[in-house]
Each structure stands twice: as structure tokens, then as C-alpha cells.
């Protein structure tokens, strides 16, 4: 399951804070801030999708993520590779290196990461 763009934005705030009350999440937004009811609705939808849960403290809810940013991003990228690149990581890597404006240093870093992975697989 995927998060909408507004849910992803809220989830990013929650990943930064790790645990947060609704008021703290609202404070993370720049002005003009969304309405508290909007944040509440987003949190409810994210709970229904099993991305967020909460702990009741007094009469308030402290929210926390049920999935790490790394896991979410990994699933998202794998979905992109499957849906847009014929389930071919090679096609994705080719597109990524040709269509992004990576510097020589960034390409060298990618090359090093790939070489490290190749050594691990040996």
C-alpha cells in the first residue's frame, strides 16, 4: 500500500520526530499550516493503512510510525522498478544514470557502492 503525497509529507515529519502528538506534528509544517482536522484525518487514514499507530497518554494520542523510512522507500523503489522498468533493475539504473545530472563524484560513489555489493556477493 502507498501513501498519498500529503500523507508522505506527514509521515516524513513523524519519521523525524519518531513519536509525536498531533500538535507537535502540526508545528513541523511551515506557514500557512494545515488545519488540525486535516492532520487528524491524515493520521486516521495512515492508521487504517497500517503505517501509523498511537499510544494513549492521558487523554492525548502520541503517534509513531509502524514502518521505517528506509523500508517504505525500498518498497516504493521496487514498485517503480516493477511498474515502469519491466521489473528490471538494470533498466532503472540505466535510466537513472542517463536522465539525472549526476556529477563525476556522484557516479564514482555509485560505482563504489556497486563494487562493494559485488564483493559481498562473491
88 by DSSP, 3-state: which? coil
- Strand duo 20-21 + 52-57: pairing: unpaired
Cell reading at 41: 484525518
Q: Where are the domains of the chain?
A: 5-65, 88-122
Compute the distance between CA of residue 6 and CA of residue 42 in angstroms, rounded to an integer.
8
pLDDT for residue 90: 86
List, for residues 28-67, the tens digit of each pLDDT value: 999 999 999 999 999 999 999 999 999 999 999 999 999 9
pLDDT for residue 78: 87
pLDDT for residue 4: 93
- Give which of 23, 60, 27, 61 is closest to 52, Cα–Cα: 61
pLDDT for residue 100: 86
Range 5-14 average pLDDT? 96
Report the topology of domain 5-65. Answer: Arc Repressor Mutant, subunit A (1.10.10)
Amino acid at each position: 500500500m502507498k501513501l498519498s503525497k500529503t500523507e508522505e509529507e506527514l509521515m516524513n515529519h513523524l519519521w523525524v520526530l519518531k513519536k509525536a502528538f498531533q500538535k507537535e506534528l502540526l508545528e513541523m509544517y511551515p506557514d500557512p499550516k494545515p488545519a488540525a482536522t486535516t492532520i487528524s484525518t491524515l493520521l486516521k487514514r495512515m492508521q487504517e493503512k497500517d503505517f501509523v499507530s498511537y499510544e494513549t497518554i492521558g487523554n492525548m494520542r502520541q503517534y509513531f510510525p509502524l514502518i521505517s523510512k528506509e523500508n517504505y522507500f525500498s518498497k516504493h523503489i521496487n514498485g517503480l522498478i516493477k511498474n515502469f522498468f519491466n521489473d528490471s533493475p538494470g533498466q532503472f539504473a540505466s535510466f537513472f544514470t542517463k536522465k539525472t545530472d549526476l556529477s563525476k563524484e556522484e557516479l564514482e560513489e555509485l560505482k563504489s557502492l556497486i563494487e562493494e555489493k559485488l564483493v559481498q556477493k562473491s
